[in-house]
Amino acid sequence: MKKILTVVIVMLAFAASAQKVEARFTESKFIKASGKTVEAEGNLKLFSADKMELRYTKPAGDYFIIDGKTMSSNLRGKKSVVDTEKNASMRTYRNTLMNCVNANWKQAATDNNAESSVVEKGANKVVTLRAKKAAPRGYSKIVITYRKFDNIPVELVFEEFNGTVTTYKISNIVKK
């Protein structure tokens, strides 16, 4: 009986993680070093637990795609394809992003050597991850606001050790 229940739970979890989500997003990157803020926006598609794409409408043509272990991007015409198996920091970056989007913040906290805290605010819950120690790379702080009823993020804030803060706001969420 226990085994059957385990299988059912795994299958449900897989079905949930495999759900397709489409949404609009805005991206705001504040570069502390220069004091500049770079704005961008586009469409987000979450296909499964390890596949996600951000296609920018501003600047048009830019994209950022995670497909399994591969990360592809085109940022201001600079294209790159990274095999995260060969790149530890990109692997951490990819895992952190996917775990945050998929509401697996505990794993994101472990990967980033961070402490996590959760605060409920109305219909949302706010998860905060704080790095225990400064590091050459990674995030000093991550704040994710999820919709309480389906754990889909509506805002993600990534703060780097050099003070650069990137904020994603997600709207028009459609589950398919």
Partner 1 sequence: MVFVRIYRFFTQHKFLLYILLVLSSVVFAFFAAKAHFEEDLMKLLPKSEKSESGLVFGNIKVKDKLFMQVTGAEPEVLVGYVDELMDSILTNDEGIANTLYRLEPDMALNALDYAMMHVPSFVDTTLYARFDSAIAHADETMARNYELIMNDETGMASDLVSTDPLGLRECLMSDISGGMGFALIDGHLFSPDSTVALIFISPDFQTFDSQASHKLVSHLNQCIDQFHQAHPDVEVLMHGGAVEAVGNASTMKRDIAITIGISLVLILLYLCISFKSYNIIWQNVLPIVYGTIFALACMYWIKGGMSLMALGVGAVILGVALSYCLHIIVHQRFVGDVEQMLKDEAVPVCLGCLTTVGAFLGLMFTESELLKDFGLFATFALLGSTFFALIFLPHFLNVKDAKHSKKAFKLIDKINNYPYDRNSIIITVLCIVILIGFIFSGKVQFDNDLKHIGYESEAFQKSRDLYEEKNDQGGMQRYYAVTAADLDEALDANMVLATTLDSLRGTGDIFSYTPVASLLFQSQAEQERRIAAWQHYWTPEKVAQAMAAVKSAASKNGLSPDIFVPFQAMIEAEYEPGNLYESGIVPDGLLCNFIEETDGKFLIFNAPKFSKDKMKEVDDLVAAKPHAVVVDPLYYTGGMISLIHKDFNMALVISSIFVFLVLLISFRDIFISLLAFMPMFLSWYVVQGWMAILGLSFNMINIVISTFIFGIGVDYSIFVMKGLIERQRQEESHLLEYHKVAIFFSALVLIVVMGAMLFAKHPTIVSISECALIGMISTILITYTLQPLLFRWLMKWPYVKRRVEKIK
Residues in contact with partner 1 by the rule CB under 8 A: 29, 31-34, 36, 38, 75-76, 79-83, 85-90, 133-137, 140, 160-164
Q: How many residues does the chain have?
A: 176
Q: Between residues 31 and 49, which has the closer beta carbon with respect to partner 1?
A: 31
Q: Between residues 124 and 164, which has the closer beta carbon with respect to partner 1?
A: 164
What dihedral angle (degrees, nearest 10) is formed by the CA atoms of 93, 20, 105, 113?
-10
- Nearest distance in Å: CB 44, partner 1: 19
- Report residue 138 CA to chain centroid gap: 13
- Nearest distance in Å: CB 86, partner 1: 5
Residue 159, CA distances (Å) to 102, 124, 164, 173 in order: 19, 21, 6, 24
CA distance 126 to 109: 14
- Nearest distance in Å: CB 123, partner 1: 32
Q: Between residues 3 and 86, which has the closer beta carbon with respect to partner 1?
A: 86
Using an 8 Å Cβ cutoff, are 140 and 161 in contact?
A: yes
Please state, as a whole number, how many other Cβ atoms lie within 10 Å of the Cβ of residue 121. 9
- Nearest distance in Å: CB 140, partner 1: 7
Q: Between residues 85 and 120, which has the closer beta carbon with respect to partner 1?
A: 85
